[in-house]
Amino acid sequence: MYSIEVNNLTKKFGSFVSVDHINFKVKKGEIFGFLGANGAGKSTTIKMLCGILEPTEGDALVGGFSIKSESELVKKNIGYMSQRFSLYNDLSVSENIEFFGGVYGIEKELLKEREKWVLEIAGLQGKEKVLTASLPGGIKQRLALGTAVIHKPGIVFLDEPTSGVDPVSRRAFWDLINSLSESGTTVFVTTHYLEEAEYCGNIILINAGKLIAEGNSKELKSKYLTNTILEIECTPVIDSLSILEKASFVDETSIFGNQIHIIVNDKYTGKEQIKSLLQAKNITVKSIENIIPSLEDVFIHLLEKN
Ligand SMILES: Nc1ncnc2c1ncn2[C@@H]1O[C@H](COP(=O)(O)OP(=O)(O)O)[C@@H](O)[C@H]1O
Ligand SMILES: [Mg+2]
C-alpha cells in the first residue's frame, strides 16, 4: 500500500540539524508533493531517501527496502532527478540516454526500445544527435525525467524539476508527471512553487527541517486555516497594507498583486469596519470579498506562525 515510509528521519551536519525527525508515508502511485522554501531541507531528505546520503538518525523504507541497511537495493529500484539535472551537456541526446541506460543496467536490446520511449517523452524524435547543451530548458527537463525513469522504476524522486522553466513548459511537465502516476509510478516531487501543490495528491510542508503540515489540498485548507479570510481590492495598495497590518481586528496580511488578503480575529465585526478604516485614510476601496483560502494562503499562514 505504501511506497515510502519515513520514520524519525534526521540529518545533522555538525551541530546543524538539516532534517529534524520527520515522519510521513507515501501511497503507491500517488503524486506526493514535498514543499518548502529554499534551505528547508528538501534536497537533504530526497538524498537520504535515494540511499545516497546516510541519515544521522531514523530510517525509511523505500519500495520496501531500508535506506540505512539496504541502500544498494533502494538505488536499483528508484529513479532520481537531481536539482541540477543529471544530464551531461557535452553529450548528445542519445548519448545521454545510453549513458543512463548503462547506469541502470539495461541490456542492449531493451535499451533501443527504452531509448525510443524516452525520446517520445521528451519530444525529441529525430533529434538524437543534437548536443544536450543546445536544448531549451523545458525540453532538457523532460529528457532528464525520461532518463531518470528509463528503467521504469516503481518510484521516482524529482527534486525541483520545474525550477527555472517558463510557465507553459512547467504545465506540460506536470502533465508528464500525471501520466507517470497514472501508469502506476509513485512520484515524489519537491517544489518551492506553492501553486504547484495543487497538482499533487498528498502534500507535506517542511520548514527549517521540521514538518509543519500534511494532507491533501482540501484537508490543508480546512485543518490549518479556520479563521475568516478576506480579499480586499483597494488603492493605493501599499498604504492600505500598512494600515491593515496595524488594525486590531487583523491577524495576518499578505499581498497578491493589487489585492490584499487578511485573516481576521474575533474583533472583526464586518466589512463596514474595514471600509471605514481605509476610507478615513483616503483609500479607495473597490471590493471586499470573503474567500476560500488558496494553498498559498495556508502556507503563508503556517510559515508565519512557525
Ligand atoms: N553537505 C552539507 N553540509 C552542511 N550543510 C548542508 C549540507 N547540505 C545541506 N546543508 C544545509 O541544510 C539545509 C537544508 O538544505 P537543503 O536540503 O539543500 O534545502 P532545500 O533543498 O529545501 O533548499 C540548508 O541550510 C543547507 O545549507
Ligand atoms: Mg533543494
Give the three cell numbers for residue 222: 480546512
Question: Which residue has its alpha carbon closest to ligand 1 atom 16?
Answer: 41
d(CA 237, CA 84): 38
CB of 38 shorter than 6 A to ligand 1: yes
d(CA 145, CA 202): 21
Contacts of 163 (CB under 8 A, 6+ apart): 83, 191, 192, 193
Give residues whose Cβ lies within 5 Å of ion ligand 2.
Answer: 42-43, 83
Q: Match 539496504 to its residue by C-alpha cell.
A: 70
pLDDT digits (tens, 9 = 90+) for 260-293: 999 999 999 999 999 999 999 999 999 999 998 8
Lowest mean per-residue pLDDT among 77-86, 103-112, 235-244, 250-259:
77-86
Residue 84 has pLDDT above 80, yes or no: no
Question: Which atom in ligand 1 lies closest to the alpha carbon of residue 38?
Answer: 23
pLDDT digits (tens, 9 = 90+) for 33-83: 999 999 999 999 999 999 999 999 999 999 999 999 999 999 999 999 987
196, 33 contact by CB (below 8 A):
yes
> What pLDDT is recorded for position 295?
86
Question: Which residue has its alpha carbon closest to ligand 1 atom 8?
Answer: 44
Cα four-point dihedral sign 146, 148, 153, 159: negative
For the chain, the farthest-separated pair of C-alpha atoms sits apart, in whole angstroms, at 77
Of 18, 46, 82, the one to substitute when testing ligand 1's pocket (max ligand atoms within 8 A of C-beta) is: 18
Other Cβ atoms less than 10 A from the Cβ of 299: the count is 24
Residue 195 has pLDDT above 70, yes or no: yes
> What pLDDT is recorded for position 164?
81
d(CA 142, CA 136): 10
**What is the overall mean pLDDT for the chain?**
94
d(CA 39, CA 129): 37
178, 6 contact by CB (below 8 A):
no
CB of 44 shorter than 6 A to ligand 1: yes
Q: Packing angle between helix 108-122 and helix 137-148, nearest 10 degrees?
A: 150
Identify the DSSP state of 156. E
Question: Which residue has its alpha carbon closest to ligand 1 atom 2?
Answer: 13
264, 249 contact by CB (below 8 A):
yes
CB of 71 shorter than 6 A to ligand 1: no
Give the three cell numbers for residue 53: 546520503
Cα-only R_g, the chain: 23
Residue 300 has pLDDT above 90, yes or no: no
Q: What is the set of domains in the chain, with CATH numbers?
A: 2-214 (3.40.50.300), 225-305 (3.30.70.100)
E-strand ranges in the chain read 2-13, 16-27, 31-35, 57-62, 65-66, 78-81, 155-159, 186-191, 202-207, 210-216, 229-235, 250-256, 259-264, 284-290
